[in-house]
Amino acid sequence: MAGIEQIRMGTSASLIKSVYGNDNSHAYIMRNETGEGILASHEIMEGIYVLYGDFHMESMYSEMEHSADLLCLDYCYEGRVEWRAPDGSCFYQQAYDLYVDDRRHTCSSFFLPLRRYHSITVAFFRPDAQASLEKHFEGFPVE
C-alpha cells in the first residue's frame, strides 16, 4: 500500500509532534529555535492527499524520506521557501508559484527568508492514485 505512511517525517525539526490523526488525516507541529510550522495532511481518495502548510520560522531541517512513486503539485499562497538540492542546484518558491515535483531530489535544509511559508500541496502516490481515479471516473479515460 502506498501513501502518506511511506513518508518518514523524522524528528530533527527540533520537535515534530503528531497533533491528531485518524485513518485519513494527520497533523504535525514542527518547532525549532527560529519558530513553528504546522503541516496538515488529508487523504481525499486512496493515494491522493491534500496537505496544508503553515510555517512561521526562519529555517528548518527535515529528515523527510519516502519510498513512494510520488508526484506533488505545490502551491505557495504566501511567503517564500528556499532550498538547495543534493546536486547543488538552488530552488525557491514564493507567493503564487506552482511547483511540480516527484521528490526524487529531496533536500534536508529549508530557509524561509520572510519567516513565513503558507502552501497547499496535492500529492499523488502512484499507482494507488491511478487506480482511485480510474474507479471514480469510470468510463472517462484517466491517464
pLDDT in tens, 13-71: 444 556 666 778 888 888 888 999 998 889 999 889 999 999 999 988 766 665 668 89
Write down the mean pLDDT value for the chain. 80
- For residue 81, the model assigns a pLDDT of 92
More confident residue, 115 or 134: 115
Give whichever of 48-57, 79-88, 103-112 has the largest mean pLDDT.
Answer: 48-57
Q: Are strands 69-84 and 117-126 parallel, antiparallel or unpaired?
A: antiparallel
| DSSP codes, 94-107 | ETT-EEEE-STT--
CA distance 61 to 127: 29
Asked whether the predicted pLDDT for residue 140 surpasses 90, the reply is no
**Distance of alpha carbon 70 from alpha carbon 125, whole angstroms:** 5
Beta-carbon-side half-sphere exposure of residue 15 (alpha carbons within 13 Å): 12
List phi, psi (to 5°) of 129.
Answer: -65, -40
Question: H or E segment at 32?
Answer: strand 25-32
Q: Tell me if 69 sits within 8 A of 126, measured CB to CB.
A: yes
